[in-house]
Amino acid sequence: MDLVQLRENTACDRDFLRDAKAIKRICKEKGIIFIINNRLDIAQLAGADGLHLGQTDLPLKEVRKIFGKNRIVGVSCHNLTEALKAQSEGADYIGIGPIFSTTIKPNLKPIKLSSIKLINQKIKIPKAFRLKVERLKR
């Protein structure tokens, strides 16, 4: 499965939307799923297939009211508690991290391999994600 996630933190809204629409066109032509990071408004306007949320972004339950249930919504998680919450609220997938130290998010400590294994054992959403992706590709 091919997927592109657009993460933009520096462009003005107009440029971000213009770029998102252009990338969406290319992804659609190639049969690639297109996800936008954090920005529900840009994802909606660009016709993105999905949205990726961080822990401080809009709540998943609120996003679903606007974005709908048929589009992909993923959530960044940093521990088992966050992952279980994302799963219970209906996330289609979760991203786990950081795996290594990063200057982008210096307040987050790297997740231990044992924690990743535990999250992987407890989370049961990948099958639902695959089914939703298949419906989007039709």
Q: Tell me the C-alpha to C-alpha distance, in Å, between residue 26 and each of 33, 48, 52, 74, 129.
A: 10, 12, 19, 22, 22
For the segment 24-34, the average pLDDT, to the nearest whole number, is 95
pLDDT computed for residue 97 by the predictor = 86
Give pLDDT tens digits for 111-127.
Answer: 998 998 999 899 988 65
Q: Tell me the C-alpha to C-alpha distance, in Å, between residue 18 and each of 45, 51, 110, 132.
A: 10, 17, 34, 26
**Phi and psi torsions of 72, nearest 5°:** -80, 135
| pTM, entire model | 0.87
pLDDT computed for residue 37 by the predictor = 96
Distance of alpha carbon 119 from alpha carbon 30, whole angstroms: 32
Three-class SS state of 4: strand
The residue ranges of every structural domain in the chain are 3-137
- Per CATH, the homologous superfamily of domain 3-137 is Aldolase class I (3.20.20.70)
Give pLDDT tens digits for 56-106.
Answer: 999 999 999 999 988 999 999 999 999 999 999 999 999 988 888 888 778
